[in-house]
């Protein structure tokens, strides 16, 4: 089977690194890559070639690959160039725009989406969202400290003692926990809030104070995302956040609702009451942001507060982000590939839930009824 590696159109990362190429070639697969695919992630062409891959131009990789794996979907105009029966694996985010499935259901194509892999214990090793969120949480703190006109740690000098900066983390998922750990390492005084009661122990284990609001809705089955809360809870939440945010030097927000706009956690009034020079890093900017003043992919100053909106800070650490992404893919391929090619085991929850289109048939949202059982798909893509 021929596996293709493309240069991302709007990203510094690369989906497959030379380390994985070497393993794929050893398993009997052929790997082709677009020249310069990993250059921005410091994976040079000669490293791919040394691992056994062959360099080609983009058009040739798209047209000849049986399996194409990318970080972001290929351009719409490239779909027509795909090989008949090709399989694409990427982050299609159908919960934001289900119409993405229609683009691939006009011909004999199959698509699988990494962001649809169930966020369960058994799938942790292939959870791309968690890998990238961890990097984003780390980088969010560094971006904040760059913009902050104050020290983060407490410092003593002959001129007197400088108190530590107060850091408030809103959302203690993977990104939030990494942000807590990074801010603590830098010497900040850290507090964290999350609607999920289970986060309390994790926050405290990192040395931060947990800001708790009673009465949160049950988040079980939310797949690591926040869940919509009652109006009463939101009012109590905003009152407490308003109190805490007035004292904060750095605020990092991470709350997103799957398939829905991000919840508003910081109002414009709260920003007005923050200390001049304070910084907000909004990791939910791509879905509307946790602050109405946030602008995605931009850093703006409002009411004397710097607001940085970026949901893909992992792109700023392309080397290690690519390494982690590639390892996630490697673990996914362990259940997706066999010696003969692709094995469509739709009795496997991970394969079933990550499938959007199967052989030109849209199955997103109704996979249990539309996908054939394992015995009905005995054939595999030949090597």
Which positions are annotated as active-site residues? Answer: 119, 124, 127, 130, 225
* Cβ neighbours around 324 below 10 Å, total: 19
* H or E element at residue 350: helix 349-354
- Is residue 308 within 8 A of residue 143, CB to CB? The reply is yes
* CB neighbour list of residue 346: distance below 8 Å, 6 or more residues apart: 352, 355, 367, 371, 372, 373, 374, 377
For residue 248, the number of C-alpha atoms closer than 13 Å in the C-beta half-sphere is: 30
- Dihedral sign for Cα 341, 346, 348, 352, please: positive
Distance between CA atoms of 295 and 150, rounded to whole angstroms?
Answer: 24
3-state class of 168 per DSSP?
A: strand
Q: DSSP secondary-structure letter at 40?
A: G
Backbone angle region of 207, left / alpha / beta, with phi > 0 → left and psi within -120 to 50 → alpha: left
Closest CA to 171 of 270, 311, 274, 298: 311
- Dihedral sign for Cα 150, 152, 158, 161, please: positive
Q: What are phi and psi of 142, to 5 degrees?
A: -65, -40
Closest CA to 309 of 338, 331, 279: 279
- Is residue 322 within 8 A of residue 18, CB to CB? The reply is no
Closest CA to 41 of 135, 115, 182: 135
Tell me the CA end-to-end span of the chain in Å, nearest whole number. 4
């Amino acid at each position: 089977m021929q596996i293709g590696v493309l240069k991302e159109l709007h990203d510094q990362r690369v989906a497959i690194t030379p380390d994985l190429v070497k393993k794929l070639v050893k398993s009997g697969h052929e790997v082709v890559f677009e020249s310069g695919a990993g250059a921005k992630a410091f994976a040079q062409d000669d490293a791919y070639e040394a691992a056994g891959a062959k360099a080609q131009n983009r058009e040739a990789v798209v047209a000849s690959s049986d399996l194409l794996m990318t970080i972001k979907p290929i351009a719409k105009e490239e779909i027509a160039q795909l090989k008949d029966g090709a399989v694409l694996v990427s982050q299609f985010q159908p919960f934001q725009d289900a119409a993405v499935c229609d683009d691939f259901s006009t011909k004999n194509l199959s698509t699988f989406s990494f962001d649809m892999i169930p966020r369960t214990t058994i799938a942790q090793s292939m959870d791309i969202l968690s890998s990238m969120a961890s990097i984003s949480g780390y980088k969010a703190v560094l971006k904040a400290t760059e913009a902050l006109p104050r020290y983060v740690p407490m410092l003593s000098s002959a001129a007197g003692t400088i108190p530590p900066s107060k850091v408030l983390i809103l959302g203690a998922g993977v990104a939030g926990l990494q942000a807590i750990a990074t801010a603590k390492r830098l010497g900040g005084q850290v507090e964290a809030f999350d609607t999920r009661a289970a986060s309390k122990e994790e926050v405290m284990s990192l040395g931060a104070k947990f800001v708790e609001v009673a009465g949160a809705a049950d988040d079980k089955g939310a797949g690591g995302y926040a869940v919509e809360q009652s109006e009463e809870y939101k009012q109590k939440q905003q009152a407490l956040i308003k109190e805490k945010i007035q004292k904060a030097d750095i605020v990092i927000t991470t709350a997103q609702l799957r398939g829905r706009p991000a919840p508003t956690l910081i109002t414009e009034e709260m920003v007005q009451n923050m200390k001049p020079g304070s910084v907000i890093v909004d990791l939910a900017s791509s879905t509307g942001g946790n602050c109405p003043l946030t602008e995605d992919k931009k850093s703006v100053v409002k009411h004397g507060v710097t607001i940085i909106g970026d949901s893909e800070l992992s792109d700023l650490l392309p080397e290690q982000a690519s390494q982690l992404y590639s390892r996630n893919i490697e673990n996914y391929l362990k259940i997706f590939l066999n010696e003969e090619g692709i094995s469509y085991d739709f009795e496997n929850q991970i394969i079933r839930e990550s499938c959007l289109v199967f052989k030109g048939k849209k199955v997103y949202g109704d996979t249990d009824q539309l996908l054939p059982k394992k015995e009905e798909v005995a054939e595999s893509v030949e090597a």
